[in-house]
Amino acid sequence: MTSITSPLISIVIPVKNGEQWLGNLLPKLMQQQLAGQTEIIIIDSGSTDRSLDIIRQFPVRLITIPPETFNHGGTRNLGVQESRGKYVVLTVQDAEPVGNDWLDRLLEGFIEESVAGVCGQQIVRHDRQLNPVQWFRPISEPRLTKYVFADPTDFNDLPPAQKREVCAFDDVNAMYRRDALLRVPFRQIGFGEDMQWAKDALLTGYALVYNNAARVYHYHHENREYTYKRTFTECYYVYRILGYVETPGDRLAALLRAAKILIREKEIGFATRIKWWFYNYRLRTAYEKAVRDFRRYLGEGNIILDRVHERICGVPPQAPEPNADRV
């Protein structure tokens, strides 16, 4: 792939200690129908496992950076600057394309020149090692959804909940026009750089497309600490960027839904269902505590909120190790 002088697509992947996934991800990228028109750029920020050995077995461009210089937005901007494709795909080390037409599906979303980016869908495979409550169960056929605002006021006048829906961009599974990313780069923020970029792109006059036919498998086996920190920082950035204030929701309804799903899954035994129910109970409790704490500190003013967020999430939360805290 690296021998292509003028690739159509550049895939940029930030990596750190990804040996658990890279041996699976990279062959899947090589098997894409558009692999012959694609280059892969990996930016490693200080891996101490076998990641670099695995990466060097594949025809990719490897860039190494000091770990202290990694930034969700800035590091991706570096990948964009190094890329040569007309389109840039952003994904992560623990994602996996569903099918060999993943890139084709993303390209389908560029229905007009005004489209700056196309975002796909993350799903969870049916695997007994993964939370059955999150297994992918489609309820409708995939479709394209486009958002564009001729007048920035039209976007700014949306209720915060609609802004959140419109800006639900996700650089685990997205393709961008390279020239749009150069004109509207990612901001160097600690979290939510994709959501912030979506807002910036829309306010610049670009269109965004969501195509849930372009899917990747992606899963984190969370523990309570990670769920709490991730939820708190998500609440913080969604509020800061879009003005949306999360609500805790109905715990009983959420847990009843989880129970119904687990009861219907006949392929797992009773004891396993109980364990997964308690797993979901623990995560739901952590989520609700984070939302309540966020709302409480928000009520004390933005200065207090900023300080608390820095204390809790100054370092962006990292997903637990793949096999940590298994049910």
Which tens digit of pLDDT belongs to each residue from 79-137? 999 999 999 999 999 999 999 999 999 999 999 999 999 999 999 999 999 999 999 99
The mean pLDDT of 144-157, rounded to a whole number, is 94
Q: Within this chain, do residues 100 and 249 fall inside the same structural domain, yes or no? A: no
For residue 1, pLDDT beyond 80: no
The mean pLDDT of 135-158, rounded to a whole number, is 94
Amino acid, single-letter form, for residue 10: S
Q: Within this chain, do residues 43 and 170 fall inside the same structural domain, yes or no? A: yes
pLDDT band at 68 (very low <50, low <70, confident <90, very high): very high
The verdict on residue 323 lying in a domain is: no
Beta-carbon contacts of residue 69 (< 8 Å; ≥ 6 apart): 45, 75
For residue 175, pLDDT beyond 50: yes
Q: Where does a domain end: 190, 217, 244?
A: 217
pLDDT, residue 3, reads: 56
pLDDT, residue 292, reads: 97
Q: Within this chain, do residues 161 and 230 fall inside the same structural domain, yes or no? A: no
The verdict on residue 320 lying in a domain is: no
Q: Which domain holds residue 48?
A: 9-217
Is 112:207 a contact under the CB 8 Å cutoff? yes
State what percent of residues in the chain have pLDDT above 70: 95
Q: Within this chain, do residues 52 and 119 fall inside the same structural domain, yes or no? A: yes
pLDDT, residue 319, reads: 66
Q: Kind of pairing, strands 9-15 and 87-91?
A: parallel
Q: Where does a domain end: 217, 233, 260?
A: 217
pLDDT, residue 327, reads: 53
pLDDT, residue 146, reads: 97
* Residue 36 burial class via C-beta count within 10 angstroms: exposed 0-12, middle 13-18, buried 19 and up: exposed
The mean pLDDT of 299-318, rounded to a whole number, is 89
pLDDT, residue 2, reads: 46
pLDDT, residue 325, reads: 47
Is 92:22 a contact under the CB 8 Å cutoff? no
Q: Within this chain, do residues 32 and 177 fall inside the same structural domain, yes or no? A: yes
The mean pLDDT of 10-33, rounded to a whole number, is 96
Beta-carbon contacts of residue 246 (< 8 Å; ≥ 6 apart): 231, 234, 235, 238, 239, 291, 294, 295
The verdict on residue 195 lying in a domain is: yes
The verdict on residue 322 lying in a domain is: no
pLDDT, residue 324, reads: 46
Q: Who has greater pLDDT, 250 or 314?
A: 250
pLDDT in tens, 224-240: 999 999 999 999 999 99
E strand map for the chain = 9-15, 38-44, 61-64, 87-91, 96-97, 115-123, 144-147, 173-177, 207-217
pLDDT, residue 44, reads: 96
Residue 117 in 3-state DSSP? strand
Q: What share of the chain is helix, strand, coil (3-state, %, to 5)?
A: 45, 15, 40
Question: What is the C-alpha R_g of the chain?
Answer: 20
| Structural domain count, the chain | 2
The mean pLDDT of 264-292, rounded to a whole number, is 95
Q: Position of tokens 């990804």?
A: 18
Q: Within this chain, do residues 241 and 209 fall inside the same structural domain, yes or no? A: no
Is 264:137 a contact under the CB 8 Å cutoff? no
The mean pLDDT of 221-226, rounded to a whole number, is 94
For residues 265 and 274, what is the distance between their CA atoms, to the nearest angstrom? 12
Amino acid, single-letter form, for residue 140: S
Amino acid, single-letter form, for residue 62: L
pLDDT, residue 321, reads: 60
For residues 56 and 54, what is the distance between their CA atoms, to the nearest angstrom? 5
Q: Within this chain, do residues 160 and 79 fall inside the same structural domain, yes or no? A: yes
For residues 257 and 253, what is the distance between their CA atoms, to the nearest angstrom? 6
For residue 270, pLDDT beyond 80: yes
CATH number of the domain bearing residue 46? 3.90.550.10
Q: What is the mean pLDDT of the chain?
A: 94
| Backbone dihedral region for residue 169 (phi beyond 0: left; psi -120 to 50: alpha; all else: beta) | beta
CA dihedral 27, 30, 33, 34 (to 10 degrees): 150
Q: Within this chain, do residues 271 and 137 fall inside the same structural domain, yes or no? A: no
